[in-house]
A and B are shown apart, each in its own frame.
Chain A
Amino acid sequence: MNEEVIKLENITKDYTIRTGLFGKPKKNRALDKVNVSITKGEILGVVGESGSGKTTLGFVMLGLANKDSGNIYFEGKNIDALNKAQIKEFRLKSQMIFQDPFESLNPMLTVGESVLTPLLLAKDRIPKSERMLRVIAALNSAGLEPGEEYISKIPSELSGGQRQRVGIARALINNPSFIVADEPVSMLDVSIRADLLNLLKEQAKSKQVSMIFISHDIIITRYIADKILVMHLGQVVEMGASKDVVENPKHPYTVLLIKSMPEVRDRDLVPIDEQVEYNVDVINSGSDECSFVSKCPFAMDICAQHRPEMKEIDPGHFVACYLF
């Protein structure tokens, strides 16, 4: 159970921002020394605002974006040291579910063809006769029952929720060991969301698939994930069991996130986000400071001089903040 499926060590990733024709390019650090590991069958929720680097984290894990420094270990092996065949194996075992079900399916392919594609990449192993059965089984397990009826449909005949289920079937068909789900329900209506969340949770648990669930909604993440990682401008600011992070948030940014959820808002309290001007334009330029320092009501001198280390304040609950 405690087998680490994927482990990230000190991952850093920079994007360059062009500042006009003659301007000096600026550096935007999307991932700033991220350390994280996921065990088998675990769902890790990644929460943060837009621009916090959560999608980049998913991309780097899948090898879809190159890291600048740090190491990624997949089932104990450093992925930089893999040979071609092993990289193919890694790609088959790691899958992604995309945010937008309307754009992530090829409109010209039938549902069956879309779901079959990842299987074809592994074609040396699966006999032809078995392929369609596998597709049907994957569709069934994604809740598109009976799968036979959906195979010949094209995406435009399906609703948003059904399309997202096709995306899930496509991710599940190769029996992956981990899945990155990037905001899989944010484009869907609330009445459809619930069933998809239950489906993802159930599939991860029954098939022992590790999952990264990326979302900006901490309550949905609390519902589905075992562990929550809170990111802010590329830095991991807090990590721990979902229950601990949500019920007992420590880092000022996590507190702010939770206080911003409409149902938590107490109309009489002066909330922390009104004490400081919340400027979303700040970027992480890669200097050695806490990424939240410019917005934090508790900022001290040291916060701008050295970046706080992750500290374990309760068993399994880590916070990167000098307050603790």
Chain B
Amino acid sequence: MTGDPIIEVKDASISYISRREKIDAVRNVSLTLEKGSILGLVGESGCGKSTLATIFLKLIYPPAHIQGGSVYYYGGSEKTNVLEMKPPELRRYRWKEVSMIFQGSMNSLNPVMRISDQITDVMIDHDYTYMEAMDRVDSLLEQAGISKRVKNLYPHELSGGMKQRVNIAIALACEPKALIADEPTTALDVVVQSQITRKLESLRKNLGLSILFISHDISLVGAIADRISVMYAGKIVEVGRVSDILNSPAHQYTIALLASIPTLKRVEEKISGIPGHPPRLNTTIKGCAFADRCMKVQNRCREEEPQLEVIEGDHQAACFFPGGPKR
């Protein structure tokens, strides 16, 4: 980890606009993915984490609209703003510079194409010749950790874990510098999940890949990532090193989230859920979005919106009354 950024999202806002309402799914979010590191992005369903993921590749199409912000990519010869790229530049940027594993991508393989064709497809589209692409298939499958024999098979002949590995192979096909993995292990069994996350970890080590790992499972993210960003109602509420977030969480949401998960170490302790629901994002939220569910809420939380502030070192939280009992 060098601490240099590879991709930096600055003040991004994304809204879904329909005739009836406007939903602000991502509200003024800044996020930095450092070179060669794994950043975990955690949040509940509907908090905007997948929407945020799509901005890294500018995969935003109506009804989603970018309301503002910029995405800087530092991997090229100079800093470029992804959101201002022209279509041919974008085509080169996607997959060659930054690629993505989509949520539920086990089911995104084409059922009537052989695995090898699906892998070469993207390479041929990115200026590889057919022969070069075919030559790479074996080594890509090996990198993703499955045997070469699957290249002549069809997706229905593979198990969920194997399909997910094929997706990793496709994501690595054009030797990207960064990878956006949106819930790559949801719907997989725990054993397979741990193998896939380990694979991603070893890819980071061997290829120096930078990974944004998105998941709703904070303990899973804690096991793989270097840093964690916690997202709630379209905003980043806390960001810090894994040890900071897991051992001394600052934002009340993070504290409550960790208290709601049983762990093997604290198995005798009673866990408790978070009362209420996340706010709907179709209206402007006054004050802190978590105020209605927060145990420590004060008047100030409902009036003013807290901004990310330094707690200690590079640990930041957007909370007026951070901290709680040490865990």
Contact = CB atoms under 8 A, between A and B. Distances in A.
B198 interface: yes
B273 interface: yes
Given A191-B273, A216-B190, A262-B219, A281 B267 contact: no
Interface stretch (A24-32, A90-98, A132-140, A270-278): A270-278
B217 A222 contact: no
Interface string A247-265: 1000000001101111111
A261 B160 CA distance: 18
Contacts of B223: 262-263, 265
A117 interface: no
A268 interface: no
Interface in B208-261: 216-220, 222-224, 256-257, 259-261
If over half of A's interface residues share one DSSP class (helix, strand or loop), that class is named, otherwise mixed; here it is helix
Contacts of A259: 194
Contacts of A196: 273
Which of B45, B217, B223 has the most C-beta atoms of chain A within 10 angstroms of its own C-beta?
A: B223
Contact of A216 (B189, B222, B270): B189
Contact of A190 (B194, B224, B261): B261
A49 B159 contact: no
Interface in B272-322: 272-275, 277
B143 interface: no
Interface in A260-304: 260-265, 271, 273-274, 278-281
Contact of A278 (B192, B217, B272): B192
A217 interface: yes
B131 interface: no
B222 A219 contact: no
Contacts of A189: 44-45, 216
A265 B219 CA distance: 10
B197 interface: yes
Contact of A273 (B191, B264, B267): B191
Nearest to B193: A260
Contacts of A198: 270-273
Interface residues of A, number: 38
Contact of B194 (A50, A159, A247, A271): A271
A194 interface: yes
Interface string A181-195: 000000001111111
Contacts of A278: 161, 191-192, 195
B264 A222 contact: yes
B139 interface: no
Interface string A209-231: 00000001111101100000000
Contacts of B107: none
A197 interface: yes
Given A262-B220, A263-B222, A280-B161, A193 B260 contact: yes
B263 interface: yes
A167 to B, nearest CB: 17
Given A49-B190, A192-B273, A280 B159 contact: yes
Contacts of B104: none
B68 interface: no
Given A190-B44, A191-B257, A265 B194 contact: yes
B111 interface: no
Interface in A150-206: 159, 189-198
A27 B191 CA distance: 25
Nearest to A242: B267
A246 interface: yes
Interface in A300-323: none
B262 interface: yes
A198 B50 CA distance: 30
A223 B267 contact: yes
Contacts of B224: 262
A281 B160 CA distance: 10
Which of A159, A190, A274 has the most C-beta atoms of chain B within 10 angstroms of its own C-beta?
A: A190
Interface string A62-83: 0000000000000000000000
Interface in A30-72: 49-50
A280 B259 CA distance: 33
Interface string A5-41: 0000000000000000000000000000000000000
Contacts of B274: 191-192
B154 to A, nearest CB: 14
B189 A261 contact: no
Interface of B: 44-45, 159-161, 189-195, 197-198, 216-220, 222-224, 256-257, 259-265, 267, 270-275, 277
13 contacts: A190-B216, A190-B217, A191-B256, A194-B262, A195-B273, A197-B271, A219-B264, A219-B267, A260-B191, A263-B263, A263-B264, A271-B198, A279-B159
Interface of A: 49-50, 159, 189-198, 216-220, 222-223, 246-247, 256-257, 259-265, 271, 273-274, 278-281
Of all A-B residue pairs in the complex, the 10 with the closest CB atoms, nearest first, are A195-B273, A262-B223, A223-B262, A194-B273, A260-B194, A191-B274, A194-B260, A49-B189, A262-B220, A194-B271
Given A197-B271, A223-B271, A262-B219, 13 more contacts: A50-B189, A159-B277, A190-B216, A198-B270, A198-B271, A216-B190, A219-B262, A219-B263, A219-B267, A257-B190, A264-B264, A274-B198, A278-B192
